[in-house]
Amino acid sequence: MEVLPTKADLLASLADRKGVPRVLVPTMGALHRGHTSLFDRAREVAGKDGVVIATLFVNPVQFGPHEDFDAYPRPLEADLEKCRARGVDLVFAPSADEVYAADRSVAVTENRLSTTLCGASRPGHFDGVCTVVAKFFALIRPDAAIFGEKDYQQLAVIRRLVRDLDFPVRILAAPTVREDDGLALSSRNRYLDSAQRAAAPVLARSLHEVAAGIASGTLPGPTEARQAFLDHFAAAAPARLDYFAMVDAATLEPLVDFAGQTPRLLAAAFFGQTRLIDNVGLPGDKALPLLLGPS
């Protein structure tokens, strides 16, 4: 495995590997089993002769001024060991100065899917994500890139980025990996104290209960479903709900009824200072109705 800190190193290494499939897994490090499942999917897609590239980069421009950029974990050696163990070929692990010119003046903005849900709570976040992902696509020119469904809105935004800017890359979704009690794996779970960790699975549980109620017809419309979510979520005494939304799985538009729709349920909540997100489809739905673009 090669560890490449500069764009020049990355381009030189890619130049030596022409003509084989390139599959990219962008990450911010602090890797867990969710990420390693993306590496496994990348290897399946790349094949044994293809090249799997991971990025380890805590992207400053996707964090708000009062968010956890400084505190975000950066266990580089442990991350590299995980990449090595999963057969990643190249790791691009640049500094912020390497990625961004000091006088940079171009950014990428998605103006529709980014404005609601996490975009409403984290202004500028998706601009930062789109900008860094577009830069990685331009540098690496992958045939495919793998993103986790855990960040469902991010996945939708990236598909839109690729469609609207004509990046010749397939965006593939990989399912959320969960702890035994249902909590979605996240690098931020490590911030939780023991009471918050004990409460955190309520997010997944509430989403799954409501999805099951919608699928079985016991929750016939969004009003009943919202109330049911709030009732389940109230069990998590120390948590504060940021949002719960029922949206069309492809467009992320809010649903006014469920008939003939493919709903996706998304929620975000604070457990202490830690903001966790999660989402589910209805039981039996295909993982995604493949959001607005080629897969």
- Contact call for residue 132 and ligand PAF (CB under 6 A): yes
Q: Which of 35, 66, 208, 232 is catalytic?
A: 35
Identity of the amino acid at 222: P
Q: How far is the CB of 205 from ligand PAF (least distance, A)?
A: 24
- Contact call for residue 279 and ligand PAF (CB under 6 A): no
DSSP result, 200-242: TTHHHHHHHHHHHHHHHTSS-SHHHHHHHHHHHHTT-TTEEEE
> CB neighbours (10 Å) of residue 138?
10
35 catalytic per annotation: yes
Q: How far is the CB of 132 from ligand PAF (least distance, A)?
A: 5
Tokens describing residue 34: 């969710």
Which of the residues 174 through 233 are near ligand PAF (CB under 6 A)? none
Q: Which stretch binds ligand PAF (CB under 6 A): 129-137, 176-184, 205-213, 239-247?
A: 129-137
Identity of the amino acid at 283: P
- Contact call for residue 23 and ligand PAF (CB under 6 A): no
- Contact call for residue 146 and ligand PAF (CB under 6 A): no
The residue among 224 and 242 lying less far from ligand PAF, judged by its C-beta, is 242
Q: Which residues contact 280 (CB under 8 A, 6 or more apart)?
A: 204, 207, 208, 211, 264, 265
- Contact call for residue 28 and ligand PAF (CB under 6 A): yes
Which of the residues 37 through 96 are near ligand PAF (CB under 6 A)? 59, 62
- When computed from its CA atoms, the radius of gyration of the chain, rounded to whole angstroms, is 19
Whether 201 contacts 236, CB under 8 Å:
no
Q: How far is the CB of 269 from ligand PAF (least distance, A)?
A: 19
Q: How far is the CB of 162 from ligand PAF (least distance, A)?
A: 13
d(CA 106, CA 255): 35
Q: Pick the binder of ligand PAF from 27, 114, 196, 274 (CB under 6 A).
A: 27
The residue among 79 and 209 lying less far from ligand PAF, judged by its C-beta, is 79
Q: How far is the CB of 31 from ligand PAF (least distance, A)?
A: 10
CA distance readout (Å), 264 to 104, 128, 208: 37, 24, 11
Picking from 144, 143, 112, the residue whose alpha carbon sits closest to that of residue 130 is 112
Count of residues interacting with ligand PAF (CB under 6 A)? 10
Residue 173 parent element (H or E): strand 170-174
Tokens describing residue 219: 């929750």
- Partnered with residue 279 across adjacent β-strands are 266
Q: Pick the binder of ligand PAF from 89, 151, 209, 278 (CB under 6 A).
A: 151
Catalytic residue numbers? 35
Question: Site residues (CB under 6 A) for ligand PAF?
Answer: 26-28, 59, 62, 129, 132-133, 151, 154
